Structure 1
């Protein structure tokens, strides 16, 4: 029971850490005002925003090695420092105004905020993945949901505490994010471990029995993954303690133990993933890796373009729809849309993480169906973005985008663990997150080029577009096509999983015969 409490505390701490990691998605809340004060073009503004995305996703592999080979706490410590060192100089640049810092240097500090978010988030996900056995979709749903809620959390505080003050908002980001990670680090515990990992672990009472179960299964002539209990043994005085230990077993418990309640037997795909250990460059030889990598790249590019540029969408539509709208009015609307995206992401991650477990355990279906739902929602969002000219209806674009993005990231960590095993999850996740580096760069820079092509430089040096929907509609044609390809990639993944499962069942039947 002590193990169970420690696991709960650890996941709560991981969720708190994640709340500090999603602030890059609040970029649209301050980017237009920052660009105006620093006299930046839409392309330059997108370079700064994309630098944060690159930091977030490109640092996944090195941060994954730190998380897997050293400890999640060390990764969280790196993240705490990088968040503070990234946001504070950007805050100072804004306060000092145009010419105080080059675009390249601002982009570097923006990159650091992405590195800090990645390192801290890797630690949070690893803690949730290690500490909960066959409920990894549900366990990771909470830090994933907090990550999605992060932008809403900070924009809400900023909107109430200092409305319209972009400098104070940037100061809030620099201080609050790093301090939240700092106070959470002591509570990040790995309660159990799989042999071969480098974390100090709390021992479980029935480890000898688990090792004997593994030996029996290894020597077995059948490779069928059974969800039945280990063979009966003679009762001992430690039975009650053993049952308590079983209740609090971690995700990395030795295969063969029962990690589910009697009413909810373990499913075959979950147990099979406990035996898999694919990581590093070996991933590149697996078709499953490329399926997931292509799918993630296609859909994250779609989401990141709107997430990073919803502020420009708002500005363009209101400048065309009502030329009497003040800058303060437009800035408040930008904050609202960032909050809508964040809330949509929060609910999407929570529903997808928990829902993917239900789909697998209760319906016996693939988690890819959740990814397919994300792609379909993205398609609808792009259609809305290409047609809506009334800024009062733009919430449909931001809401659907946040929901689709949340559904995607709510299920993807579980897809990665199912495919390659939990031991090297952080490194594997780092390889996966290289996909958004490519697609996010392409779509964001394309949006900036389209927006700049329709913008005019004002006497004060700032650039503005007064053409409404025409300012950016062309960019959404590309993301609409990408979301269609995402649906195709999901169908591909579902069919491949079905073929692999059927082939495995045929091989097992042949061996049993």
Structure 2
């Protein structure tokens, strides 16, 4: 079952991936804002000083409200939030269509509210499908996550191409299509996605394994009264002999002895603490890793673990536990229920055996010390803060270029006689938008499988971020330093920059979801993803402010692309800092992993 759990031959897996694609395509229409914004401003007669409020409203809905949407997904579930996203998308486009039909009488306030609802509806569905695919495909998170992430970026290109071939400049029909198709896609996709119940699968696997093992034993059958017992608390086997002298009075009754306050096992603690006085509880009922002969020879009482044990402990003990049947308890008159609260701790002795519980080498490599922490502990950890800052810088660089490419195109046409050239600023801008959409899609799609390949090679996914930082650094340098005497050469350089920056930007968002899940787990993924993407709001605002100052220069047209030298020199330096920071994080992770593996080999020698 475990080998085929992620197979694409499984109809449920295909259903989940198709549902995520539908949601991503329906949610990605937030990037189609530039397709209809000029007509909306003109038809509704919106003042120039209020134009910035529209884009700000969309940014608030699609980014800042992620702080609210993330915890809602973690608490309410992915399906419910997808339905909410579809409803918000429908209402948002309906309000825009209603005000667009009213023309100058339309309300700017309602339009801003509608854009906020569209942005929030977008992330409600998108964050939900990302969480589902990364949770359902733990061994190929990069590939699974890259599918909806890439479709989210491709959505604007798909719809803009569709509109150019069908409705063309009829913006009213554009809003009608958005209102019906996008909301339906998110709703249908929300019905198709799901989160796999691993606990149920493990129980079914254990039941199947237990039945197989019982059939293999040549022993009397187990009475139904015993086989149906649901053991939910520790069982103590009384010892009629004297307590072991080695049972330390100092250890007895201590919090560490009983496991109180312990959050989870780590590979380091398992290796360093080979002798385990008292095993923790386990989720599935199991028995002590001792044969019947060992129990007869032992003069100590034994505590049998039952529920909520560390998965790491039980996974490494599973091989020997499979050979112990339930019939081992038959006829033992000393078995009784043990109440930890009412016990004076005198009837229980620690296991005197040396239990070698070691994680596998793969577990050591994939271990993360920040999984399972509380939200506050995660947000204040050095790892999360580093991820937040790096993503804020890289996201800000990519989005600033995407938003500002329309201002860069006129700079390369400055001083040119438009009557003597074939290209026009509008056509070049359209080409840049298409190149950005395609390259961003390719970056998001390819980065997922590549990051999975890196993990299989025992490397880190963060190498993708190194490549993305380098590309954003290279693109920032070229955009402000290229020089050409011909218009064709300038267009070529600009197109090259669009491809490089968009591809690097796509790699960032195609890799980061899997990195976050690997580092912090899936339980708080939506909350953390909603928080970590808010950093881009600040950096985009800063970079856009620098760009506006550059474009206000009196000799901007004469300078051409040199006019934005200061803005993209700043992004160039910050991309280098992001590259260096990621490199340091890779080195720190490598050193810790190396230390764990050395402990692993040392523990095998002794």
Q: TM-score range with shorter-chain normalisation?
A: 0.7 to 0.9
Offset from partner CA, 1:165-212 (integer Å, 9 cap, x none)? 555444443433222112222212223245xxxxxx788621556836
2:13 aligned partner: 7
1:183 counterpart = 2:182:
no
1:211 aligned partner: 284
Distance (whole Å) between structure 1 residues aligned to residue 46 and residue 420 of structure 2: 21
**TM-score with structure 2 setting the length:** 0.67
Distance (whole Å) between structure 2 residues aligned to residue 320 and residue 172 of structure 1: 41
SS in 2 for 1:21: helix
Contact 2:391 2:532 in 1 (8 A): yes
Matching of residues 249-260 of structure 1 within 5 Å: none
Matching of residues 9-408 of structure 1 within 5 Å: 9-31=15-37, 45=51, 47-91=53-97, 100-102=106-108, 106-166=111-171, 168-193=173-198, 205-207=204-206, 211=284, 230=319, 233=322, 267-268=362-363, 272=367, 276-318=371-413, 321=416, 323=418, 330-362=425-457, 364-387=458-481, 390=487, 392-393=491-492, 394-408=494-508
Contact 1:377 1:401 in 2 (8 A): yes
Distance (whole Å) between structure 1 residues aligned to residue 161 and residue 79 of structure 2: 29
Distance (whole Å) between structure 1 residues aligned to residue 601 and residue 306 of structure 2: 20
Once the two structures are TM-superposed, the CA of residue 28 in structure 1 deviates from its matched residue by: 3.8
Q: How many residue pairs end up in the alignment?
A: 468
1:426 aligned partner: 526
Distance (whole Å) between structure 2 residues aligned to residue 407 and residue 93 of structure 1: 38
RMSD (CA atoms): 4.1
Contact 1:46 1:448 in 2 (8 A): no
1:499 counterpart = 2:594:
no
1:243 aligned partner: none
SS in 1 for 2:373: coil
Distance (whole Å) between structure 1 residues aligned to residue 602 and residue 442 of structure 2: 45
Once the two structures are TM-superposed, the CA of residue 376 in structure 1 deviates from its matched residue by: 0.7
Distance 1:266 1:496, change over 3 A: closer
Offset from partner CA, 1:310-367 (integer Å, 9 cap, x none)? 23333554465454599x96445434322221211111111111111101112x1111
Offset from partner CA, 1:419-450 (integer Å, 9 cap, x none)? 11122211121221222222223223443454
In structure 1, stretches of 5+ residues that fail to align are: 195-200, 237-255, 259-264, 457-463
Offset from partner CA, 1:255-309 (integer Å, 9 cap, x none)? x9x9xxxxxx994368535992134222123111011001110100001111222
Distance (whole Å) between structure 2 residues aligned to residue 156 and residue 365 of structure 1: 39
Question: Which has more helix, going by share of residues?
Answer: 1
Distance (whole Å) between structure 2 residues aligned to residue 221 and residue 139 of structure 1: 25
Distance 1:5 1:216, change over 3 A: farther
In structure 2, stretches of 5+ residues that fail to align are: 210-282, 288-304, 326-356
Distance (whole Å) between structure 1 residues aligned to residue 510 and residue 521 of structure 2: 17
Contact 1:141 1:353 in 2 (8 A): yes
Contact 1:11 1:127 in 2 (8 A): no
Distance 1:221 1:429, change over 3 A: closer
- Structure whose CA Rg is larger: 2
Distance (whole Å) between structure 2 residues aligned to residue 83 and residue 71 of structure 1: 19
Distance 1:82 1:235, change over 3 A: same
Once the two structures are TM-superposed, the CA of residue 48 in structure 1 deviates from its matched residue by: 3.1
Offset from partner CA, 1:100-157 (integer Å, 9 cap, x none)? 443x654443332221111111111111022123211121111111112112111211
SS in 2 for 1:211: coil
Higher relative contact order (CA 8 A, sep 6+): 1
Distance (whole Å) between structure 1 residues aligned to residue 157 and residue 311 of structure 2: 54
1:483 aligned partner: 575
Distance (whole Å) between structure 2 residues aligned to residue 508 and residue 419 of structure 1: 21
Distance (whole Å) between structure 1 residues aligned to residue 419 and residue 550 of structure 2: 25
Distance 1:56 1:507, change over 3 A: farther
2:509 aligned partner: 409
Distance (whole Å) between structure 2 residues aligned to residue 184 and residue 222 of structure 1: 35
Contact 1:379 1:480 in 2 (8 A): yes
